[in-house]
Amino acid sequence: MHTNLAGPGPHIILCPNVFPKCAYLAGLARDAGRATIYVDADMLYSGYMHAGMMERLPHVLVRRPDPPGWNAELTTMIRMTSAEPHLVIVDTLNGLGGMWGGPVGIRRAVHSIMLLAALGRDVGTTVVVAAAARAGQAGYELAPGGRLVGGAGRLYLLKGGEPVPLADAGSADRPGGAGDRRPMGA
């Protein structure tokens, strides 16, 4: 696993482009070296596997969440990830939050992710979350929707196929401005 992503997380990777995101997350799952749960909220990973563009990996359990079954799905994932170390990949925060719509959906997605990370911390579970984002005048925004991203300690920008800590991404990648810096879901 990439050294920047060591530790429990959640690690949020801001992805301005969908194709490098897919390639990076597929590589992360492939190279994880441990049981992996891939929460495919955008259905891209599943689509690529179905089309034969990505291989099915025996250590990767792909979950496709839906609103009516989410509580049961989350409970199952928590049981698994709190019993033994896993890598949990959420692709994407936007897709997971979009299941319920609006700010309430993003809050519910963030709360679910934080619960997974907290309850898996003692056994070494790592949670990585991709978020489609674009640079705006006041900071990075979830795309679509425009909710400002900020306040989290483990933010990365996918740059050159690797996650770079947002603080190290370079001034050209960090929009200026005061902006709303409340954590996502606040």
CA dist., res. 22 & res. 102, Å (int) = 24
pLDDT tens by residue, 110-127: 899 999 999 999 999 999
Q: Is the pLDDT confidence value at 167 over 70? A: no
Q: Where does the pLDDT of residue 9 fall: very low under 50, low under 70, confident under 90, or very high at 90 and above?
A: confident
pLDDT tens by residue, 25-66: 999 999 998 999 999 998 888 888 888 888 889 999 999 999
Task: For residue 173, tell me if it sits in a domain.
Answer: no
Task: For residue 154, tell me if it sits in a domain.
Answer: yes
Task: For residue 79, tell me if it sits in a domain.
Answer: yes
Ramachandran region of residue 18, left (φ > 0), alpha (ψ -120 to 50) or beta? alpha
145 or 74: whose pLDDT is higher?
A: 74
- Tell me the H-state helices in 9-168: 18-30, 44-50, 70-83, 93-98, 102-120
Residue 31: which domain range?
A: 3-166
Task: For residue 185, tell me if it sits in a domain.
Answer: no
Report percent pLDDT > 70 for the chain. Answer: 81
Taking alpha carbons only, the member of 154, 177, 178, 176 closest to residue 166 is 154
CA dist., res. 36 & res. 86, Å (int) = 5
Taking alpha carbons only, the member of 141, 133, 36 closest to residue 92 is 133
Taking alpha carbons only, the member of 154, 168, 41 closest to residue 25 is 41
Report percent pLDDT > 90 for the chain. Answer: 38
Q: Where does the pLDDT of residue 138 fall: very low under 50, low under 70, confident under 90, or very high at 90 and above?
A: low
Question: Which has the minimum average pLDDT: 4-18, 32-46, 52-66, 146-160?
Answer: 146-160
Mean predicted lDDT score pLDDT of the chain: 81
Task: For residue 59, tell me if it sits in a domain.
Answer: yes
CA dist., res. 186 & res. 182, Å (int) = 6
Here the CATH number for the domain that contains residue 96 is: 3.40.50
Task: For residue 171, tell me if it sits in a domain.
Answer: no
Task: For residue 94, tell me if it sits in a domain.
Answer: yes
70-83 and 102-120 helices cross at what angle (nearest 10)? Answer: 20
Total of domains in the chain: 1
Task: For residue 28, tell me if it sits in a domain.
Answer: yes
164 or 143: whose pLDDT is higher?
A: 164
